[in-house]
Amino acid sequence: MENIDIKFIAKKSECSIATVSRVINRSKPVSEELQKRVIDTIRKYNYNPSIYAQNLAGKKSRLLGFIMTNYINQYQLLLFRYLNEFACKMGYGCIIRYCNSGFEEKLEVLRELEIRGIEVCFSLFLLSQEEEAYIKEHFRIKVCHMQSPEMRLNIIEKNESSVYEAVCYLAQLGHKRIGGIFCIDEIDDSFLMARKRGFLKAISQINLDQDESMIGQLHGECEKDSVISVIEKIFVPQKPPTALFCYSDEVAIEVMSWIMKQGYRIPEDISVLSFDGIPFAGRVTPSLSTISQPVEYQAKCIINGMLYLQDGIERPCDEKGNEYLLQIRDSVGLPSH
């Protein structure tokens, strides 16, 4: 069987390959009649231009890169699922690489993506200004992340305010001793920091117990052991908190497990509230209250942002979708005293 390429289509349509190319790309006007003829043959023979040839001839790659953290996190997995979905919708394919937090390793991954002909890549790791500058200097590939301005996610502000409001909500229920578990990364102003800021702001504003020992800090990886050692410090038997905010659902589930093993009841003895809104949060016992992120919306913004980096065309998202919802479930109740 003959190969169905642009030459074949041209022959069948009785025109030149240049014309076929023009029809495909709408790059130059073609008479209506001829255009119809070409489209019909393309349909008839189910022709698809070779993306490799297109690329060689100077077109962009239609491939987006993604750097995911090696630590398997529900929220990320979900986010990527949507990212992939939107990318497909826009006619793009996604190439993922998993990677540890070291900068060297990220550079290695970037190099691999660049080899694949990828022009724009999204990193789930935030990047410091120096890192971004280094990449800009040494790579052709453009890198962006959650906090890149092109994404228009307002993520820092949204994180801070939603946590602030959630803690206020707990206070309204009557909680006075509210603990918090946070995660710190090396970036100066990250959305993870913002969660803590929102928490602290609420604590200090509403005149709650400001007990330093009720605030725990994780660093990067959230191994079971480190989670437990943090939570142990918060739960001093003399005066445990009556409510606990946790920066992520995943960690919160771990924490709830520990709390219940110690014999405390949730929410009778202690309420737990966390952040992310992963599907599992609603399935564990007791079901976990959480601030759910607009994952789908975020994915859309990210893809639009990446495409902007790719072709310079702005595709604004409706800001209305960017809502962080406080979902109160069984893990939150009134304080018992």
Partner DNA sequence: TTGTAAGCGTTATCAC
Partner DNA sequence: GTGATAACGCTTACAA
Nearer to DNA, 50 or 205 (CB): 50
Question: Which entry of DNA, a copy of itself, none binds 240, CB below 5 to 8 A by partner kind?
Answer: none
Residue 173 sits in the site that holds a copy of itself (CB under 8 A): no
**Least distance (Å) from a copy of itself to the CB of residue 257?**
5
Residue 287's binding partner out of a copy of itself, DNA, none, with CB under 5 to 8 Å set by partner kind = a copy of itself
Helix (H) or strand (E) holding 196: helix 191-205
Contact yes or no for 218/181 (Cβ under 8 A): yes
Q: How many CB atoms lie within 10 A of CB 23?
A: 22
- State the Cα angle at 119 between 6 and 296, rounded to 5°: 100
| ∠ CA 216-190-89, rounded to 5° | 120
Residues in CB range of 167: below 8 A, 6 or more apart:
178, 198, 199, 202, 203, 206, 245
Q: Does 211 bind a copy of itself (CB under 8 A)?
A: no
Pick 98 or 169: Cβ nearer a copy of itself: 98
Token reading at 253:
């589930």
User: Which residue stretch of 17-25, 115-123, 143-151, 207-215 sits at the interface with a copy of itself (rule: CB under 8 A)?
Assistant: 115-123
Site string for a copy of itself, 214-233 (x = CB under 8 A): --------------------
Closest by CA position to 243, among listed 262, 212, 266? 266
End-to-end CA gap in the chain: 82
The three-class DSSP label of residue 278 is coil
Contact string 13-32 vs a copy of itself (x = CB under 8 A): --------------------
List the structure tokens of 249: 């659902």
Stretch that binds a copy of itself, among 31-39, 55-63, 147-155, 292-300 (CB under 8 A): 55-63
- For residue 56, state whether it binds DNA (rule: CB under 7 A): yes
Least Å distance between CB 23 and DNA?
Answer: 9
Closer Cβ to a copy of itself, 50 or 204, answer by number: 50
Residue 41 as a binder of DNA (CB under 7 A): the answer is no
| Least distance in angstroms from the C-beta of 310 to DNA | 14
DSSP string, 86-138: HHHHTT-EEEEEEE-S-HHHHHHHHHHHHHTT--EEEESS---HHHHHHHHHH
CA pair distance 135, 305, nearest whole angstrom: 18
34 lies in the binding site for DNA (CB under 7 A): yes
What is the total count of residues that contact a copy of itself (CB under 8 A)?
38
Q: Which two tokens stand for residue 336?
A: 């018992």
Chain position carrying tokens 């919160």: 252
Residue with Cβ nearer DNA (19 or 190): 19
Query: Is residue 85 close enough to count as binding a copy of itself by CB under 8 A?
Result: yes
**CB of 101 vs DNA, minimal distance in Å:** 32
**Matching residue, tokens 């603990």:** 179
Nearer to DNA, 62 or 176 (CB): 62
Q: Which two tokens stand for residue 99?
A: 């990677």
**Contact region for a copy of itself (CB under 8 A) — 10-18, 91-99, 147-155, 169-177?**
91-99
- Name which of 293, 258, 263 is nearest 279 in CA terms: 293
CB nearer a copy of itself, residue 66 or residue 308? 66
Contact residues toward a copy of itself (CB under 8 A) are 48, 50-53, 55-56, 61, 72, 77-78, 81, 84-85, 88, 93-98, 112, 114-117, 253-254, 256-257, 260-261, 279-280, 283-285, 287
Contact residues toward DNA (CB under 7 A) are 3, 5-7, 14-22, 24-25, 27-31, 33-35, 47-50, 53-54, 56-59
